[in-house]
């Protein structure tokens, strides 16, 4: 946009030019889509507030990325990795692969207090969608593949005191204290530890340029 331009001076031509400059910079298709989407929403609100008469981004058309960013990881690969992973990463892998938790947001929010051992269920905090009505926590069974991982982690790091039961079932995050003993005992680098486990299990990591780590996060 021209320097110093006022919002009510932005035209459809400026919007199209902005789009073309993003493409010329070689920015990823998904990033361009999001930026145009944000700009369109911003201008839409300006129209609602009677600041401008029409949305200059209404006719700018973008496309979502068609590149496959998710890779299916076979069960046997996960099992091989679990045998080489340290206790922290066993919990993280187990929750994401066998529990279906968003990682890291939900994984690092789970507390021992959220585990119902007798009913074999867990209440999963949902930081990413807690702002939606009726969301914030969901209940999920502790599947057979996940139960022994929980049992092992609790046997090593659990604390039957009230404080221990309030601790999270992972490495800690802004959403909770985390399982302090896990965190203090295994301060592995977030990149080095998984790659060392992959190497020990003789698993070749996916090309970093061909994958996207989301939460999924």
pLDDT on residue 159:
58
Residue 60: pLDDT band with limits 50, 70, 90: very high
Mark residue 133 as left, alpha or beta (left: phi above 0; alpha: psi -120 to 50; beta: remaining). Answer: beta
Percent of the chain, pLDDT > 70? 70
Q: Are residues 108 and 204 in the same domain?
A: yes
pLDDT on residue 208:
40
Q: Is 80 exceeded by the pLDDT of residue 14?
A: yes
Cβ proximity of 79 and 97 under 8 Å: no
Average pLDDT over all residues of the chain: 78
Residue for token pair 């609100």? 45
150-166 residue pLDDT tens: 999 888 877 544 444 44
Q: Are residues 51 and 82 in the same domain?
A: no
Q: Are residues 95 and 43 in the same domain?
A: no
Give residue 47's domain range.
Answer: 1-67
Residue 197: pLDDT band with limits 50, 70, 90: low
Q: Is 70 exceeded by the pLDDT of residue 202?
A: no
Residue 124: pLDDT band with limits 50, 70, 90: very high
Q: What average pLDDT does range 193-211 have in this prediction? A: 51
Nearest to 77 by CA among 217, 204, 215: 204
E strands, 108-210, in order = 115-116, 121-125, 137-141
Q: Are residues 58 and 79 in the same domain?
A: no
Number of domains in the chain: 2
What is the CATH classification number for the domain harbouring 155?
Answer: 1.10.443
Q: Which of the listed residues 16, 49, 67 is the one where a domain comes to its end? A: 67
Q: What average pLDDT does range 58-83 have in this prediction? A: 82
Nearest to 99 by CA among 128, 131, 125: 125
Residue 170: pLDDT band with limits 50, 70, 90: very low
Q: Are residues 175 and 82 in the same domain?
A: yes
Neighbouring-strand partners of residue 123: 139
Q: Are residues 9 and 108 in the same domain?
A: no
Q: Are residues 6 and 105 in the same domain?
A: no
pLDDT on residue 2:
86
Q: Are residues 62 and 88 in the same domain?
A: no
Q: What average pLDDT does range 183-187 have in this prediction? A: 42
pLDDT on residue 88:
85
Global pTM reads 0.55
pLDDT on residue 58:
95
């Amino acid at each position: 946009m021209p320097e110093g331009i006022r919002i009510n001076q932005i035209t459809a031509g400026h919007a199209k030019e902005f789009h073309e400059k993003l493409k010329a910079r070689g920015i990823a298709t998904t990033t361009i889509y999001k930026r145009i989407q944000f700009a369109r929403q911003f201008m839409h609100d300006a129209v609602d507030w009677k600041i401008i008469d029409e949305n200059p981004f209404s006719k700018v058309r973008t496309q979502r990325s068609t590149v496959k960013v998710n890779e299916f990881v076979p069960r046997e690969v996960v099992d091989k990795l679990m045998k080489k992973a340290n206790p922290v990463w066993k919990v993280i892998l187990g929750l994401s692969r066998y529990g279906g938790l968003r990682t890291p947001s939900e994984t690092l929010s789970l507390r021992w207090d959220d585990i119902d051992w007798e009913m074999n269920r867990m209440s999963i905090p949902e930081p990413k969608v807690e702002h939606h009505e009726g969301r914030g926590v969901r209940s999920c069974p502790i599947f057979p593949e996940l139960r022994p991982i929980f049992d092992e982690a609790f046997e090593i790091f659990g604390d039957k005191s009230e404080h221990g039961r309030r601790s999270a079932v992972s490495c800690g995050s802004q959403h909770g204290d985390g399982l302090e003993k896990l965190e203090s005992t295994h301060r592995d680098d977030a990149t080095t530890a998984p790659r060392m486990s992959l190497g020990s299990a003789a698993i070749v990591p996916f090309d970093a340029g061909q994958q996207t780590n989301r939460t999924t996060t």
